[in-house]
């Protein structure tokens, strides 16, 4: 990590854990089709609630959909510079395969670790490799012991 990346990571770490919930809305349709990473795009009202100092980037944590179990997840917060998005988004990828989409469902989640900053890539393949690495990182750090710590948290039982 560069010095500036370390500063961003330090800034992010000070705001974690960060709990949030939001309704799933339609996004760009890229996650599942182009990137092998279907995401639940949360409504803009959830995005504007992020603290101003919350760094754009990729995070690991846990999430649930409606009344499902809690599962490891990765999420991106920001403008997705590879696709030149003009609006800030918050997208959650739960590391479990579901049979149905989540539109109009409510996602409840906690971000626990900062993985990396948002960045543009030279190719779609390079972006896909980074996403797979992010998912591997979340799988290894969001282990069973950490799950037990959060599955009974009051945020997820309200």
Q: How far apart are CA 54 and CA 41, in angstroms?
A: 18
Q: End-to-end CA distance of the chain: give it in Å, rounded.
A: 38
Active-site option among 91, 108, 126, 149? 91
Q: How far apart are CA 116 and CA 140, in angstroms?
A: 15
Question: Measuring CA to CA, which residue among 79, 72, 73 is closest to residue 57?
Answer: 79
Query: DSSP 3-state assignment of 156?
Result: helix
- Does 97 qualify as catalytic in the annotation? no
How far CA 68 is from CA of 16, 45, 108, 121, 148, in Å, comes to 23, 23, 10, 34, 15
Residues marked active site are found at: 91
């Amino acid at each position: 990590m560069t010095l500036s990346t370390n500063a961003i990571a330090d800034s992010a770490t000070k705001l974690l854990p960060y709990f949030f919930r939001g309704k799933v809305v339609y996004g760009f349709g890229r996650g599942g089709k182009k990137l092998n990473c279907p995401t639940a795009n949360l409504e803009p009202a959830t995005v504007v609630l992020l603290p101003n100092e919350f760094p754009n980037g990729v995070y690991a944590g846990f999430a649930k959909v409606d009344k499902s179990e809690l599962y490891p997840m990765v999420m991106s917060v920001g403008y997705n510079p590879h696709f030149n998005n003009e609006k800030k988004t918050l997208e959650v990828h739960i590391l479990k395969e579901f049979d149905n989409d989540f539109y109009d469902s409510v996602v409840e989640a906690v971000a626990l670790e900062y993985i990396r900053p948002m960045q543009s890539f030279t190719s779609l393949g390079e972006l896909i490799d980074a996403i797979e690495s992010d998912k591997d990182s979340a799988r290894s750090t969001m282990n069973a012991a950490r799950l037990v710590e959060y599955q009974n948290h009051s945020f997820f039982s309200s």
